[in-house]
Structure 1
Amino acid sequence: MRNSSKTATLESRLPLLAVEQNCIISKDGDVTACFAVSLPELFTAGSADYEAIHSAWHKAVKTLPDFTVVHKQDWYVKENYNPNMEGEEQSFLARTFERHFNERPFLNHCCYLFLTKTTRERMRMQSNFSSLCRGTLIPKEVRDPEAIRRFMETVAQFERILNDSGLIRLNRLTEEDLTGADHRQGILEQYLTLSKEEGASLEDIALGAEQVRVGSKRLSLHTLSDTDDLPAAVASDTRYEKLSTDRSDCRLSFAAPVGLLLGCNHIYNQYLFLDSSEENLQKFEKSARNMHSLARYSRANQINREWIEKYLNEAHSLGLSSIRAHFNIMAWSDDPAELKQLKNDCGSALALMECKPRHNTADAATLYWAGMPGNAGDFPCEESFYTFIEPALCLFTQETNYRSSPSPFGIKMADRLTGRPIHLDISDLPMKRGIITNRNKFILGPSGSGKSFFTNHMVRQYYEQGAHVLLVDTGNSYQGLCGLINSRTRGEDGVYFTYTEDNPIAFNPFYTDDKVFDIEKRESIKTLIMTLWKRDDEPPTRSEEVALSNAVNGYIELIRDNGLAPSFNGFYEYVKGDYHEILKEKQVREKDFDIANFLNVLEPYYRGGEYDYLLNSDRQLDLLAKRFIVFEIDAIKDHKILFPIVTIIIMEVFINKMRRLKGVRKLILIEEAWKAIAKEGMAEYIKYLFKTVRKFFGEAIVVTQEVDDIIKSPIVKESIINNSDCKILLDQRKYMNKFDDIQAMLGLTDKEKAQVLSINMNNSPSRLYKEVWIGLGGTQSAVYATEVSLEEYLAYTTEETEKMEVMQAAAELDGNVELAIRHIAKLRWERENENNQ
């Protein structure tokens, strides 16, 4: 027959009585206020930030009354990424991205804070008086309402102090958060099942001397409950060697090794017991006198007396509050064989903090029971040690996972620690929050750092979310992506302009789909013709400007009235014929407008001329409606005739979009071409663009790789950098010796410098990715991983052989780039599987 004398129902043993007014009430009358804590993201805080966080905690804890327990509980639970494959609007590449990360393991972090008001008697209870050991629990009446009211006032002050720090955010947990709802687990249920999975049911709990088991999960408990186990010195933060250089420090909280860096299922419990400091110090005074009397009989007594006196001296001279503290790591696993590894991992993490690992089995059951939210009053006092508030707070973990932006718009990047995909908004949400004042971006990265790869990834996602994208390139970096978009839209989008002898670049500046010629369109046509007619050092007269304006307006009216096909040839013939007659009737003098000179200079662009193809394209293409346009200008960037014309047309295309596409996101990305554009008198266009594009829901992005270019160019320095609130840097280790100049020019803080120099320093060998630093407005910055699927890689690659492989496969499949990418990816997967076998 089964012995049931040692079994009990959870209901009979549960030390909690009720949840009222969002507080947990225990059967001993303890009242607990509960919060969810939002901490800074991993690798984003500097030494000054950690000092500020530590100071905020210290100020907040000091407001709490005596006989309060501060219980900070950090959950680190292994989870797998669940891809979002729903929605027919998802593109081919978006689906491959989600599939690539399917089931990617990562460590999810949640932080809770429980402030428990208890009594002097409860604070001094030992493990043999835990509710686990008592036969029955008799509910007591709630304590003095006035004392509870004062406690809740101090809790509100505590919350306000931490929230005002700007680095930590406390959110009050509701009754539903604590007890759960129909289809949602509460925190209490999560703790009693050691699971955050929805639908997890309560299981049997075995609390024994040798082990603690919750269902099939077995616990391994390491404690810091004695001053002998603590390091010689503590600090608010520590140097993380793996991401630090001789020129920069990557900082983490002192307790980071037992946080996200400990890659197993575990809970890190941090307790501060706020006794009456005055009573504690009196007790120590008495103990010191006793030790002094017995010092002659034992050297240990003499040493203990010295330590007690030192403690008392510090308390009195610095006005410090005497408290007790305790810290423990509660790790668990379903596999009994894994417990040994868990024990080693937790011990190693504590050793990294210079603590002495102590695997606790004697009090594991009572510590697990006391760790229940709202039951901190049941904590066994012999498991705590005396200290002060400030050093105890150094053992708090102060960082969390990378968080996804709540904004619907953004790009997909990856967490640099675990590779979990995160949704990142670097445009709209920062603008809304006032972190940045414009959406412009400045991208810097040496050759081979993954610069074009990142920009491909970014603009592809912008395009898929409805943005109009115009790219100015000098190296066919976007040929694959543009070809994919072109084949997917059956030629309706994805326009690629490049110059070759067989197929030279060509436009028709007079063509529009809707026959609308607004002021911007007219002005861009005049600017184009003026560039063809006059040299940079030859300014037009007022009469010449008027004559040209009348000619352009007259030809536009002719197009509208007669329905003629617009072209530069038509304009030339109009000026030569009808407009010439109009000038004769007006008796315009030759010195005011020399029409013969005008026609002679423009003759190379007219039918039969050397450049007759340039402005007479038979592709009646209105770029206003095209959402993805690439101008590849590498072949003409040094051409004195073609390049200025092409750049004017590019600017006209974007400014036309900027002015006419109301409420539509648009961006222009200029690769290395900005250097050539800046040389050809186009500086004013760039300045205008960067200063005004924000007013039209647009963003201008400049990409460069040469440090000297950005340092020496006044255009970049004054116009681009000063008007780009988002700065994106890739691996800068090639420029390590020059980085001080870059830091000064970009206005980076020491914390941002340390982040940038940590790029790619500790990449996981099991994943293929490159890291990128993104800084917003000088106040928010982090390093992210650009990790993509094989299909995305084939669309973005700038390797000539791989691009040729995709293009050749597409040619064999009637130009279908998507099918070509699918085919090549399938072959590579099959080849990799064969090699693995």
Structure 2
Amino acid sequence: MRSILKKSTLEQKFPLLAVENGCILSKDADITVVFRVRLPELFTVSAAGYETLHSAWCKALKVLPDYSIVLKQDWFCKENYAPEIPESKEISFLSRSFQRHFNERPFLNHYCYLMLTKTTKERSRQQSTFNSLARGFIVPKEVSDKETANRFLDAVSQFERIINDCGIMKLERLSTAEIAGTEKESGIIEKYLALTQYNNPELKDMRIDPAEMHIGDNALCLHTLSNVGDLPGKVATDCRYERLSTDRSSCRLSFASPVGLLLSCNHIYNQFVFIDNHEENLKRFEKMGRNMQSLARYGRGNLVNKEWIDLYLNEAHARGLVSVRAHFNVMAWSDNPQELKMIKNNVGSQISLMGCQPRHNTVDVPTLYWSGIPGNAADFPAEESFYTFIEQACCFFTGETNYQSSPSPFGIKMVDRNTGKPLHVDISDLPMKKGIITNRNKFILGPSGSGKSFFTNHMVRQYFEQDTHILLVDTGNSYKGLCDLIRYKTKGEDGVYFTYTEDSPVAFNPFYTDDRVFDIEKRESIKTLILTLWKKDSEVPTRAEEVALSNAVNSFIRLIKKDIGTIPSFNTFYEFVREDYRKELHSKNVREKDFDVDNFLNVLEPYYKGGEYDFLLNSDKQLDLLNKRFIVFELDNIRDHKVLLPIVTIIIMETFINKMRRLKGIRKMILIEECWKALTSANMSEYIRYLFKTVRKYFGEAVVVTQEVDDIISSPIVKESIINNSDCKILLDQRKYMNKFDAIQELLGLTEKERDQILSINMDNDPSRKYKEVWIGLGGVQSAVYATEVSAQEYFTYTTEETEKLELTRLTEKLGGNIEMAIKQLAESKQETFAH
């Protein structure tokens, strides 16, 4: 049987003429400028932010001339994650495990384009019967009025400036190559015709049937909002997302978010706004209203329509609203009939969530698809649009995109909480360069079981792999697995783990320096240490005592520099004060009540030779930690010791400050976990304040971790010295502290938006993935919730579960100390738990 199907080539029907100077010219003399739109990330915008976004769109649309068309086209494409592995650097065992865990993971990617078209009055009114698809051939027209084109391009520049000045989103104008494509890169026109965002797609045949349209194997499914009767009675700039909201918090999304990232299928959301002549529109409605009045006696419906027209006109005149036409559609596709049926139902239900009546359009699919071609918006059939105002039309614009990776070379790998895609997040360098933060210090708060130690393990491991010197102060063996792995991989050259025991206590010499140079920081460190030994927390030294102590330290340092034979140690300092400095005080007539030398020596005697703690400050060997990049001090055995914990803590900090001063141009990090009893003493406050204020000057960062809310609420030292000097705040699940969160919010200076984000943590986790969420806030300016999801190998390295740690230890011993092999075998045996 002979085929009677008429076929046409794309060349015959193609409505575009050329792309010149970044503008698309159609054969009907329409001019189109195309932008890439950078929207804010999902779950990061407050209600006020959406108002700002909406206001910017409204202002921008009002600068466009009559008979302009705005097409905002949001693409949502299913893609698979492909890890980016640097060729120049060898990737570590854990990094490779992370990339392998996420390799080929499906996620929904978002691309947003904005097309501004200048057409004519006649073209803007044409029906679907005059569409270029319905014409046998197209005769190109000439642009008759160049002045009109120039005015339009000037208006486009104003449009771009208004949007970019709002500070929330950004427009980037596409070049000729990005629109039309090159030999190596596909342009957006080619991508649209192939229904993909991949480069160099395979162009496929289009089949236009009365009921549906096919592009290659993909069948299109179209839902339209083209009738006022299908719209809700009220629209808004944003809506409440119930799944991440609580009685005390509200997660906000744009009004059109249900058909954006929350619709997980391949689809395009087209948003058309047609700017006609406002005065002509109102005159047409006035005339229509009079006709309806005349016909009222023939049908009550005419009277009702007259009332609606009057209401529209009253709004336009009373509030100065601009009359426009609008149309919105969701174009989804699939090559699987069963999947397409499911997609059709999903799109309908998501449109219903907006309060709209979903209308599955099977008649106008080809025409609406054709008018969505970049540069061909003027081919839109006028009968598919409805009249509204700019303010209402802009409420249907999607206002968010998926999480974006940082362009910075430095950072850590986190995961998008919505799609499960890995992200590269810089929480140190780029925010500092942009002025979002003024220091790299971090404050981490999370109750027991929230994944706090897990996140810190994940963070410090990646910092270590990026050549950072890390010193950890721990009280629970949280970093033992990671430290053991580093020590194994570096063949014992790094990964130093100190555990305080009576047989092998932590000891150092506060007066020792390689070159006998004592700068002001070293002197202050020694004074703080001795003051901590001398005075109780409740005792405040007098001014005379502070001066006397300072003089004693400075005099002893001068003696060390002058007399090479003097051995710098606490013992010699003690003897110096007992003999030489006592005489010096006597010669100055310093009264006993101003500085009691005997009392001073008596209190410090336990640290002098023969005393109970004489091992602490008289080490005859210096810990060679300067070039060790991963050091853990585990203080669980002395966490409740009133004497040893503060002293050992300050010893450790002195070790870090030495590293901080001497390692020039090298990133350094000190992380102090659960050491509040040491930090909250009055004598330690100056030391902590100094550390947090000074570390940024040495390319370093101080990180403090706690799990008790009362610790941060009750301690003025934590508040003044740590929180105020930590521009990066990291919080984990706070639902345990829901009733106390007002105090936390006030103390940390959190905004309402940040509060809503924090209280949404772990509320809507995907049950098919194993992860916990974490909130990261930078300087009160930038904040988001991320997922800490890792591979099985990373999990067994970081785990703090006692049974799992013991299992790893036994397996490591069985394999002759090969902890990497033990982690691999353990991960393989329990891989099902981590399967994506």
If the TM-score is normalised by the length of the shorter chain, which range does it land in? over 0.9
Structure 2 match to 1:637: 639
Structure 1 match to 2:273: 272
Amino acid at match of 1:710: I
C-alpha change, 1:226 and 1:830, in structure 2 (3 Å) is: closer
Task: Report the RMSD for the aligned CA atoms in angstroms.
Answer: 2.9
Preserved contact between residue 266 and residue 330 of structure 1 (Cα < 8 Å): yes
Structure 2 match to 1:157: 158
State the 1:343 CA deviation.
0.9
C-alpha change, 1:732 and 1:120, in structure 2 (3 Å) is: same
* 3-state SS, counterpart of residue 359 of structure 1: strand
Structure 1 match to 2:31: 31
Paired with 2:182 and 2:93, the residues of 1 have a C-alpha distance of: 38
C-alpha change, 1:601 and 1:233, in structure 2 (3 Å) is: closer
State the 1:341 CA deviation.
1.1
Structure 2 match to 1:372: 373
Structure 1 match to 2:122: 121
Amino acid at match of 1:660: R
Which among 663, 666, 685 is matched to residue 665 of structure 2? 663
Preserved contact between residue 638 and residue 676 of structure 1 (Cα < 8 Å): no
Which among 708, 713, 716 is matched to residue 714 of structure 1? 716
Amino acid at match of 2:172: N
Preserved contact between residue 555 and residue 574 of structure 1 (Cα < 8 Å): no
C-alpha change, 1:602 and 1:813, in structure 2 (3 Å) is: farther
Identity, in percent, stands at 65
C-alpha change, 1:636 and 1:117, in structure 2 (3 Å) is: same
Structure 2 match to 1:73: 73
State the 1:647 CA deviation.
2.1
C-alpha change, 1:41 and 1:543, in structure 2 (3 Å) is: closer
1:817 aligns with 2:794: no
Paired with 2:126 and 2:342, the residues of 1 have a C-alpha distance of: 34
Structure 2 match to 1:212: 213
Paired with 2:184 and 2:130, the residues of 1 have a C-alpha distance of: 36
Structure 2 match to 1:743: 745
State the 1:542 CA deviation.
6.0
The Cα offsets for residues 275-318 of structure 1, whole Å up to 9 and x where unpaired, read as: 11211221222221111111111122222222122212222222
State the 1:826 CA deviation.
2.2
* 3-state SS, counterpart of residue 272 of structure 1: strand
Paired with 1:104 and 1:514, the residues of 2 have a C-alpha distance of: 55
1:263 aligns with 2:277: no
C-alpha change, 1:522 and 1:817, in structure 2 (3 Å) is: farther
Structure 2 match to 1:52: 52
* 3-state SS, counterpart of residue 759 of structure 1: coil
State the 1:610 CA deviation.
3.6
C-alpha change, 1:125 and 1:595, in structure 2 (3 Å) is: closer
State the 1:729 CA deviation.
1.2
The Cα offsets for residues 459-496 of structure 1, whole Å up to 9 and x where unpaired, read as: 11112112221222222222222222222222222222
Structure 2 match to 1:190: 191
Structure 2 match to 1:41: 41
C-alpha change, 1:699 and 1:233, in structure 2 (3 Å) is: same
State the 1:630 CA deviation.
1.7
Paired with 2:618 and 2:131, the residues of 1 have a C-alpha distance of: 90
C-alpha change, 1:645 and 1:248, in structure 2 (3 Å) is: closer
* 3-state SS, counterpart of residue 686 of structure 1: helix
Question: What is the number of residues matched between the two proteins?
Answer: 827
1:309 aligns with 2:310: yes
Preserved contact between residue 76 and residue 268 of structure 2 (Cα < 8 Å): yes
**Greater alpha carbon shift after TM alignment, 821-830 vs 791-800:** 821-830
C-alpha change, 1:542 and 1:358, in structure 2 (3 Å) is: closer
C-alpha change, 1:557 and 1:13, in structure 2 (3 Å) is: farther
Amino acid at match of 1:316: H
Preserved contact between residue 36 and residue 172 of structure 2 (Cα < 8 Å): yes
Structure 1 match to 2:147: 146
Preserved contact between residue 183 and residue 199 of structure 1 (Cα < 8 Å): yes
State the 1:798 CA deviation.
1.4
Paired with 1:596 and 1:452, the residues of 2 have a C-alpha distance of: 46
Paired with 2:639 and 2:115, the residues of 1 have a C-alpha distance of: 64
State the 1:226 CA deviation.
0.9
* 3-state SS, counterpart of residue 821 of structure 2: helix
Structure 2 match to 1:763: 765
Paired with 1:732 and 1:587, the residues of 2 have a C-alpha distance of: 55
The Cα offsets for residues 319-361 of structure 1, whole Å up to 9 and x where unpaired, read as: 2222111111110112233211111111111111121111111
Preserved contact between residue 272 and residue 325 of structure 1 (Cα < 8 Å): yes
Structure 2 match to 1:109: 110
Structure 1 match to 2:282: 281
* 3-state SS, counterpart of residue 223 of structure 2: strand
Where structure 1 has 5 or more consecutive residues not aligned to the other structure, the ranges are none
Amino acid at match of 2:70: V
Tell me the TM-score normalized by structure 2: 0.93
Paired with 2:266 and 2:37, the residues of 1 have a C-alpha distance of: 19
Paired with 2:392 and 2:531, the residues of 1 have a C-alpha distance of: 73
* 3-state SS, counterpart of residue 507 of structure 1: coil
Amino acid at match of 2:300: R
**Greater alpha carbon shift after TM alignment, 133-142 vs 689-698:** 689-698
C-alpha change, 1:509 and 1:818, in structure 2 (3 Å) is: farther
Preserved contact between residue 511 and residue 622 of structure 1 (Cα < 8 Å): no
Paired with 2:91 and 2:469, the residues of 1 have a C-alpha distance of: 18
The Cα offsets for residues 785-806 of structure 1, whole Å up to 9 and x where unpaired, read as: 1111111111111112212222
Paired with 1:556 and 1:599, the residues of 2 have a C-alpha distance of: 24
1:318 aligns with 2:319: yes
Tell me the TM-score normalized by structure 1: 0.93
Preserved contact between residue 523 and residue 553 of structure 2 (Cα < 8 Å): no
Preserved contact between residue 325 and residue 386 of structure 1 (Cα < 8 Å): yes
Amino acid at match of 2:21: Q
Which among 736, 753, 756 is matched to residue 755 of structure 2? 753
Paired with 2:581 and 2:687, the residues of 1 have a C-alpha distance of: 32
Preserved contact between residue 572 and residue 599 of structure 1 (Cα < 8 Å): no
Paired with 1:314 and 1:322, the residues of 2 have a C-alpha distance of: 10
Kindly report which structure 2 residues correspond to 1:11-26, keeping only aligned pairs within 5 A, or say none. 11-26=11-26
